């Protein structure tokens, strides 16, 4: 149910939420090199991953994120609990896909967070997807990582950069059809 308590006067915010996997497998992509030189890019296939859970507010450019070892209902509940605490002064609408850990009855609910689900197979409707592309461009193109700590540090650097550049995040994630300036 989307409604909040009738006497709740907190302002409303809209966030889009998603998860992405980052790890030690890399795929080399085209890159620049001086004329006459061939770029050298290493490649590795190490199946170790971290998952970034993020929610972005396209209007303000705010991002809320956590890093976790996997995707499941417990981590999603932890994410939403921390999100709810961070934005306790607001009524928050969280728009997300219908991943199993988003729709289970075991997912904790919070009085200041309501969910709207995107149609199936429609990642193009979720502005958070643009964050993943930006993060991959910033720190994950043609890079090999020697440890999961290096992956985690790269993600933390990316989120700090994005947090310091809210205007850029808003431009990256605000789709004209959203019409959220109310």
Provide the CATH number for the domain around residue 121.
Answer: 3.30.420.10
Residue 60: strand, helix, or coil: coil
In this structure, are residues 78 and 66 in contact, taking their beta carbons and an 8 Å threshold? yes
What's the gap between Cα 127 and its chain centre? 9
> Is 21 within a domain?
yes
> Is 70 within a domain?
yes
> Is 38 within a domain?
no
> Is 6 within a domain?
no
> Is 168 within a domain?
yes
Segments of the chain with pLDDT less than 50: 1, 182
What is the total count of domains within the chain?
A: 1
> Is 181 within a domain?
no
Domain coverage including residue 149: 12-26+43-173
Q: Tell whether pTM > 0.95.
A: no
> Is 4 within a domain?
no
In this structure, are residues 28 and 43 in contact, taking their beta carbons and an 8 Å threshold? yes
The C-alpha atoms of residue 172 and residue 182 are separated, in whole angstroms, by 19
Q: Which of 79, 84, 64 is nearest to 16 (CA)?
A: 64
The C-alpha atoms of residue 106 and residue 111 are separated, in whole angstroms, by 16
> Is 67 within a domain?
yes
In this predicted structure, what is the pLDDT of residue 181?
59
In this predicted structure, what is the pLDDT of residue 42?
77
């Amino acid at each position: 149910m989307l409604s909040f308590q009738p006497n709740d006067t907190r302002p409303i915010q809209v966030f889009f939420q998603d998860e992405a996997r980052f790890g030690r497998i890399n795929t080399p992509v085209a890159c620049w090199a001086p004329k006459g030189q061939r770029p050298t890019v290493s490649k590795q296939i190490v199946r170790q991953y971290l998952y970034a859970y993020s929610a972005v507010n396209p209007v303000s450019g705010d991002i809320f994120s956590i890093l976790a070892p996997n995707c499941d209902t417990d981590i999603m509940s932890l994410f939403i609990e921390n999100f709810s605490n961070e934005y306790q002064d607001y009524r928050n609408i969280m728009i997300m896909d219908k991943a199993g850990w988003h729709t289970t009855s075991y997912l904790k609910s919070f009085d200041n967070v309501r969910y709207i689900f995107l149609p199936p197979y429609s990642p193009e409707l979720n502005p958070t997807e643009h964050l993943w592309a930006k993060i991959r461009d910033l720190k994950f193109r043609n890079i090999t990582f020697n440890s999961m700590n290096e992956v985690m540090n790269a993600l933390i650097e990316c989120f700090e950069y994005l947090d310091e550049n809210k205007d850029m995040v808003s431009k990256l994630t605000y789709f004209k059809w959203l019409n959220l300036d109310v």
